[in-house]
Each structure stands twice: as C-alpha cells, then as structure tokens.
C-alpha cells in the first residue's frame, strides 16, 4: 500500500482539498485504485453541529456521515466512494481514546498524545488501506504550525517509518505571493513553511506552489535549492479559471508521472487516456454558448462556501447545457414583500431555494417560492426549500392560514411539516437527523421521472422534519403532487406543481451526487428549463 499525505502552509484556503482531489483524479486516470481521507484538527466530533458561517457546507456521504466540504471535491473529481472513515477529527480521536481508557483497555497506562493519540490517528488512516486500493491519499486540514494540527503531523511523520520509506510521500501546498509594489514574487514564505515541516521531521517530496501568475524557471530553481526539493517536483498551481482545470494544470507539469516514480508504481499503471473526458469537459466549460442567471435564496449567502455543492451542481448543469451560470445571491431576509420579490427575482432563468435550519429568513424563502409558482419561473427547492414549498402552498393555495413547519412555529394550527416519531429526541443535536442515502420511488408522469429516466433512485438526506402525510390528499387535489416517496410510501421525498413549466422540490440533497462530467439529472433539467424560460434555447 502506498500513501500520499497532503499538508498546507503559509495561509489557509489555498485549495488543499482541490489539490488532493486533483492528485486522486490523475492517479485514477492512470488506472490506479485510490482511497481518500481528510484529517481535521478541530475538536468537534464532526461539522454537523457547526454554523455554516464557521465551517461552510456540511457534506453528507452515502452512509450518513456529516463531513468536511473538501470531501465533496474528492467525490466530484474522482470515483472514490467515501464513508464515515473518510473524515477524522481531533474530537473523534479523543472520544475513542477516552472511551477505551474508561473501559480499561490501556491496562493501567498513562494516556498521552504520543503514542496513544498518534496511534489512534494512524489506525484510522490504515482503515482505508483495503485490499483493492493502491494508493491512500490523506489531506491534513489546517496549516503547518497550528497547535491543534501537531498530533496529526506527528502521526504522519511516524507513518513513513511504520510502513516503509518507499511507500509514503509528502506533498506540501504553499503560497508564492506576488508583491505588486516591487513587481516581484517572494519565495520566503514557502521556505519558512518548509522549514517548519522539517523541524517536525517531515521532508516534503513535492511542493505545490499557489501563485497568481506562472512561476519562472528561475524561481522554481530557487525554491528547489532552498527547500531541498527536486526542481521537477516544484509544481506551479497558478490561479485557474475553474477548479476543474487544476488536474490538467498538474498533468501538464508531470505530477502523475512524478508520483508514480516516487512511489514505485510503474508496473501497476496504464497509459493516459487519448480522449480524456475530463479535458473535454473543461473545454466545454471554457466555451459556453449561453449565459444564465439563477437566483439562490438563502440566509448564509455572505459565505458561498455554505452552498458549495449547490454552486458546483449548478455549474455542472451549466456545463452539460453549454451555459455559463451566474448566481444571483438573494438574502432571504431581504425579501419582505411582493415588491422585494419583483425587484430581486424578475429577469432571471430560475430560482433555487436551498436547505437550511431554524426560523430566520423563512418569510423571504416563502416569498421566493410564491413568486416562482405564480410567475411560471423554473424552480428547484432542496430540503428546507421543499418544506417552504409545502408551507407556501398550504397558506396561499389551500388557504390554511398559519400553516407552518413545527421547526418554525411549534404552535401552528396546521403542522404541514412535522417531526417523525423516531426523530422526536432533539436533545442530542449531533448525528441524530435522518442522514445519508435512502431509496425513493418515483411517480411516472412527473418532471422528476423524466429527469432520472428511472423509477427507483437513491439520494442523500440531512433533515429532521418531514411532510405531514395527513395533508397530502388536499395538496394533490389542489395541484401539488407527490412525485416520489420512500418505497414503503410513508415519507414524501419529492413534490411538484402541476401545470407549472418546471417546479420540483426534494426532501433530499441532489447536489451531493453531481459531477462535472455527469451532471445530476435534476440540476441538468433545471438549467435546461431555465434556459428555455429565458428564450435561450
Ligand atoms: N431544517 C429542516 C429539517 O431539519 C431542513 C434541513 C435541511 O434543509 N437540510 O428538516
């Protein structure tokens, strides 16, 4: 088994996730089977209870783990199937060590960071080393030098000795800034960051240097000399027009060949593909025929990372329809009246209301739903977005004044969105929602069935509340149809508005399963109908 550890230095947000995912993509393209993992130094067990403003989106895996958004990049860039083992936090490590200590499993020892915490970290990494995997890629969150990250770095340092020196490489991502006033690029931060790594005993094999513009050969030589990394292993990750270009940028600089050589994988690989579907996708992305504006109405719009997978899924829908997508971020708290809706939501292709929690901003989302419904604007509602569709319909079409979700108004006379029995324990906030992949069966004469082209689907969930089935008959009579349910017919998964050009809302999150080379069918059709609405096709 071979291991690649990806660390980052100088500043955060350089794109370690995209870097790790791009490396994974390149290795898969050479016929290698990979596994991927993210180690996060924070103390939460998982990001499930964190505010999107703290953490960005919570990405959900098939098996229902609430994970870091970088895992979304892994699934979009590669064919890896992620699970609970794919995201490890300091909280999870300590929780398991302390649980073992209470059970007496350490036989009277004093429990310490080295070796107990580091051993636990290493054992979590080894969980990925399944028989059919060739390379395990592990991204270490945070920046070298952060206090919380130290046990993880110590563990990956020890790892090389444990599994054999030829079986591990370290890839370090740094920033090479361009100083405008002097017109120079500066290598010092990279040197410092590499020194910091060396101090703790990690010697990087490859440096990925983030820059605004291409690095000169001279600067690459300087970095190679000062950081003691071969020049061909000084890779330049200059700002690309899209993250999906990064694997191509790496490939042009021979990143795949270099890794294959460093890890001695020559006899396992296949030749690169002649017609690379990824390169073809990037070409399409860079030469759109149309431009399309979609409104996303949410309450975390100041931090678009909170809607990472939604943005990407819209882009994927754009790629396959030949359209460049522009997102108009609409703060749900700014939609207080129909005049506001007219001001912010007219003159665009489609409206998307994403997931969310709590009562803040609900009124604005209801306004957006009403506007899309009444004005025949293509609409996609996701999770809380679906719940808003139901609430709006109950109030404005069925005339059930005050109908609401009990999450928003526990005293509502018409609880159209309610709690399932098994979800009644809301004391324990972490990991207690309906999480992960569940099947749904689709009704044939619906836009959803048309999109999927099949009657049985599997999609990922992350919610506590559900549509109250008591109201379904009334809904259907008035034109809000149930387009999909759980196979036992108990839970409503999808609703649509009859007679509307395209109005679909789902209790699940389709955005988690969309890929740039294979747009999710609902996003594909949402974008297509939005283009039609604008008369572009
Ligand atoms: N807050 C809603 C629920 O818990 C919706 C969740 C979501 O949008 N992810 O059911």
Q: Give the tens place of pLDDT for each residue, 78-135.
A: 999 999 999 999 999 999 999 999 999 999 999 999 999 999 999 999 999 988 999 9
Q: Supply the residue whose CA is at minimum distance from atom 6 of ligand 1.
A: 463
Q: Are 95 and 111 in contact (CB under 8 A)?
A: no
153 Cα: distance to centroid of ligand 1 (angstroms): 36
Ligand 1 atom nearest to CA at 356: 8
In the residue annotation, 383 being an active-site residue is answered as yes
The chain-wide mean pLDDT, for the chain, equals 95
The reply to whether ligand 1 has any atom less than 6 angstroms from the CB of 357 is yes
The reply to whether ligand 1 has any atom less than 6 angstroms from the CB of 465 is yes
In the residue annotation, 192 being an active-site residue is answered as no
Tens of each residue's pLDDT in the chain, 537 residues: 999 999 999 888 899 999 999 999 999 999 999 999 999 999 999 998 888 888 899 999 999 999 999 999 999 999 999 999 999 999 999 999 999 999 999 999 999 999 999 999 999 999 999 889 999 999 999 999 999 999 999 999 999 999 999 999 999 999 999 998 988 899 999 999 999 999 999 999 999 999 998 899 999 999 999 999 999 999 999 989 999 999 999 999 999 999 999 999 998 888 777 778 999 999 999 999 999 999 999 999 989 999 999 999 999 999 999 999 999 999 999 999 999 999 999 999 999 999 999 888 999 999 999 999 999 999 999 999 999 999 999 999 999 999 999 999 999 999 999 997 666 555 666 767 899 999 999 999 999 999 999 999 999 999 999 999 999 999 999 999 999 999 999 999 999 999 999 999 999 999 999 999 999 999 999 999 999 999 988
- pTM for the whole structure: 0.95
CA atoms within 13 A on the CB side of 383: 22
- What b/e string do you get for 431-462 counting C-beta neighbours within 10 Å, with b at 16 or more? eebbbbbbebebeeebbbbebbeeeebebbbb
The reply to whether ligand 1 has any atom less than 6 angstroms from the CB of 383 is yes
The reply to whether ligand 1 has any atom less than 6 angstroms from the CB of 464 is yes
Alpha-carbon span 17 to 10, nearest angstrom: 16
Per annotation, catalytic residue among 209, 320, 383, 472: 383
C-alpha separations of 235 from 172, 176, 399 in Å: 10, 11, 62
In the residue annotation, 511 being an active-site residue is answered as yes
463 Cα: distance to centroid of ligand 1 (angstroms): 4
The reply to whether ligand 1 has any atom less than 6 angstroms from the CB of 355 is yes
Degrees, nearest 5: CA angle 513-475-346: 65
Tell whether omega for the bond before 115 is within 30 degrees of 0, i.e. cis.
yes
The reply to whether ligand 1 has any atom less than 6 angstroms from the CB of 460 is no
Tokens coding 496 = 């649509």
C-alpha separations of 8 from 13, 125, 194, 501 in Å: 9, 18, 10, 47
**pLDDT digits over 379-406, tens only?**
999 999 999 999 999 999 999 999 999 9
426 Cα: distance to centroid of ligand 1 (angstroms): 13
């Amino acid at each position: 088994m071979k291991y690649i550890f990806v660390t980052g230095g100088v500043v955060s947000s350089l794109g370690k996730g995209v870097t790790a995912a791009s490396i994974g993509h390149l290795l898969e393209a050479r016929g290698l089977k990979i596994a991927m993992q993210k180690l996060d130094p924070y103390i939460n067990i998982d990001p499930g209870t964190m505010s999107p403003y703290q953490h960005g989106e919570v990405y959900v895996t098939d098996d229902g783990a609430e994970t870091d958004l970088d895992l979304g990049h892994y699934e979009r860039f590669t064919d890896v199937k992620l699970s609970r083992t794919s995201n490890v936090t300091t909280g999870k490590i300590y929780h398991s060590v302390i649980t073992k200590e209470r059970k007496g499993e350490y036989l009277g020892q004093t429990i310490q960071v080295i070796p107990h915490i580091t051993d636990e970290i290493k054992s979590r990494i080894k969980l990925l080393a399944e028989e059919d995997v060739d390379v395990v890629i592990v991204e270490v969150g945070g920046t070298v030098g952060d206090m919380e990250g130290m046990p993880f770095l110590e563990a990956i340092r020890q790892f090389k000795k444990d599994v054999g020196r030829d079986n591990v490489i370290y890839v370090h991502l740094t920033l090479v800034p361009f100083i405008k006033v002097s017109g120079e690029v500066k290598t010092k931060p990279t040197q410092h960051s590499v020194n910091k790594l060396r101090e703790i005993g990690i010697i990087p094999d490859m440096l990925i240097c983030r820059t605004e513009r291409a690095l000169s050969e001279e600067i690459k030589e300087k970095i190679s000399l000062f950081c003691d990394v071969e020049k061909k292993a000084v890779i330049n990750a200059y700002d690309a027009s899209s993250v999906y270009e990064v694997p191509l940028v790496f490939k042009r600089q021979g990143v795949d060949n270099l890794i294959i050589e460093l890890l001695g994988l020559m006899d396992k690989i296949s030749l690169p593909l002649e017609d690379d579907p990824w390169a073809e996708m990037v070409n399409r992305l860079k030469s759109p025929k149309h431009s399309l504006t979609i409104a996303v109405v949410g309450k975390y719009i100041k931090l678009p990372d909170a809607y990472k997978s939604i943005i990407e899924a819209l882009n994927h829908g754009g790629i396959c329809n030949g359209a460049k997508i522009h997102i108009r971020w609409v703060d749900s708290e700014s939609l207080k009246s129909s005049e506001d809706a007219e001001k912010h939501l007219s003159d665009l292709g489609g409206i998307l209301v994403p997931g969310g929690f709590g009562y803040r901003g609900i009124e604005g989302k209801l306004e957006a739903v009403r506007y899309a419904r009444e004005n025949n604007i293509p609409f996609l509602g996701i999770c809380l977005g679906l719940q808003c569709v139901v609430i709006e319909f109950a109030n404005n079409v069925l005339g059930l004044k005050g109908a609401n979700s009990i999450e928003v108004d526990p005293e509502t006379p018409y609880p159209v969105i309610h709690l399932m029995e098994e979800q009644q324990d809301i004391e324990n906030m972490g990991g207690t929602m309906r999480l992960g992949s569940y099947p749904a069966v689709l009704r044939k004469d619906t836009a959803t069935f048309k999109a999927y082209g099949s009657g049985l689907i599997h999609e990922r969930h992350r919610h506590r509340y559900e549509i109250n089935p008591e109201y379904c008959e009334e809904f259907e009579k008035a034109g809000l149809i149930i387009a999909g349910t759980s196979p036992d017919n108990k839970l409503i998964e999808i609703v649509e508005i009859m007679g509307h050009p395209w109005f679909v809302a789902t209790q699940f999150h389709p955005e988690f399963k969309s890929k740039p080379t294979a747009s999710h069918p609902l996003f594909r059709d949402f974008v297509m109908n939005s283009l039609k609405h604008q008369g572009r096709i």
